[in-house]
Amino acid sequence: MTAAAVTQHPVNEIVDRLLALESEPRLHAPEVSSDEVSAYARDKTFVAVKLVKSYLAELDPLATSISGLTQVQTAIQGLFNELTAFISNGNNGHLHNAGSQVDSVLYPLMWVFAARSFSDSVKPAELAIASLSENAAATFQQLVAQREALKVELTALTDQIAVQTARLETMTTTISTQKAEAAAVTAVVQQAYAKEAADRSLAFNTNETAMTDKFIELRDGWVEKASSALTVLEKSKNDAEKLVGVVGNIGVTGNYQQIANKEDEAAGNWRLITLGFFAGGIALAVATFVEFWKEPVTTSNVWAIGIRLLYAIALAAPAWYTAKESARHRTNSDRARQRELELASLGPFIELLPKEKKEEIREQMTKLYFGKEVEAHENSPIVTGKDIASVANAAIAALSKGK
């Protein structure tokens, strides 16, 4: 490490770059200079950096801390970043941050410049005064430039107002002339309109009278036609009511007829099944009698006869159930055919009766056929033990008599 590490330290470069920003117009704008806090932070930053620059020129390389200079470089880099950000977006907060960093970061590092020559030392007050003078001059120049620009704009606006005033006077004269012409034209139009209105009123009244006469004539004709049409519609309505009644009776009676046919068919099937079970039981009983007819009844064969007879009874037992089902279906068939006959003959029967009597009969029939509960089917045993014992005793007695 040599003396050049002090005299050529990068802190010199960042100091020069920051001081070069002092000539930026935005830093001396009236809105900055008129803000006491922002102007103070701006001036304090540049005075502090100028003081550092003067100290750098007086350093003794042998009595200066290089690491201290690096810390000063970092502090001034932060100030440079804040000023650059302000020039970019105009936010005064960056100037405030720079002033705060001078107090909290840069000034505490001034111990780095303690060992320097004081022969040509620049006083901070002189630097502050010089900086204030330069900032005031720059701000004044901006104000003068803005004043001149405002003068130019004011002159242009004055010229435009004069031109607009002349145009307004011309338009006023033109409007007055056109107003007089419009009044004359309006008088002519009103006169023509009055004549046209009278002619239209006369024509309208004539047409209204003619249309009224035509309307009365058409109305009388349509009334006559409507009366005839209503008479025809009334007749058609009566015919339709009769037709609907017939179709309804056919639909209802046809349904009962289908139910009667189905129940009749089911009753026949159950009857055939009943005959089959009875035939099987009787055949088994006859076979038992034939086999043991000539044999004496003993304790050895009485149980065989009884068991076979029980088989015959068991085979014929379902016949009671099938016979019951056949009778139930037969009853349903008879009931459906009876209702079919009653409903089919209801219309012709009451056709010649008065309307009130018809409604009364229909109401009574409705209560008769609708809202009735369905008869419950009782599930009773087909053959009880008492029945089986009676049949067995009768069979044994019959065998005993035969022997």
DSSP per position, 279-339: HHHHHHHHHHHHHHSSS---HHHHHHHHHHHHHHHHHHTHHHHHHHHHHHHHHHHHHHHHH
**pLDDT for the residue numbered 206:** 87
| Same-domain status, 252 and 387 | yes
| Same-domain status, 251 and 398 | yes
| Same-domain status, 116 and 258 | no
**pLDDT for the residue numbered 388:** 52
Write down which residue in 59, 87, 122 finishes a domain.
122
| φ, ψ at 116 (rounded to 5°) | -140, 165
Inside any domain, residue 197: no
What are the pLDDT digits (tens) for 63-107? 888 999 999 999 999 999 999 999 999 899 999 999 999 999 999
Inside any domain, residue 193: no
Write down which residue in 94, 122, 150 finishes a domain.
122
- Total of domains in the chain: 2
Domain span holding position 82: 4-122
| Tens-level pLDDT at each residue, the chain (403 residues) | 788 888 899 999 999 999 999 889 899 888 888 899 999 999 999 999 999 999 998 888 888 889 999 999 999 999 999 999 999 998 999 999 999 999 999 999 999 988 765 444 445 545 555 555 555 555 555 555 666 777 788 888 888 888 888 888 888 888 888 888 888 888 888 888 888 888 888 888 888 888 888 888 888 888 888 888 888 888 776 665 555 455 445 555 667 778 888 888 887 888 888 888 777 777 777 776 666 666 666 666 666 667 766 766 776 677 777 777 788 878 888 877 777 777 776 666 666 677 777 777 777 766 666 655 555 545 455 555 555 555 555 555 544 544 4
Inside any domain, residue 132: no
Question: What DSSP line would sit under 68-130, residue for residue?
Answer: HHHHHHHHHHHHHHHHHHHHHH--THHHHHHHHHIIIIIGGGGGGGSSB--TTPPPHHHHHHH
Inside any domain, residue 174: no
Write down which residue in 89, 122, 155 finishes a domain.
122
Inside any domain, residue 294: yes
Inside any domain, residue 226: no
Inside any domain, residue 57: yes
Instruction: Give the pair of three-digit tokens for residue 19.
Output: 């001081």
| Same-domain status, 252 and 398 | yes
Inside any domain, residue 133: no
| Same-domain status, 397 and 249 | yes
**pLDDT for the residue numbered 138:** 54
Q: Strands (DSSP E) along 121-237, which ranges?
A: none
What are the pLDDT digits (tens) for 265-319? 887 888 888 888 777 777 777 776 666 666 666 666 666 667 766 766 776 677 7
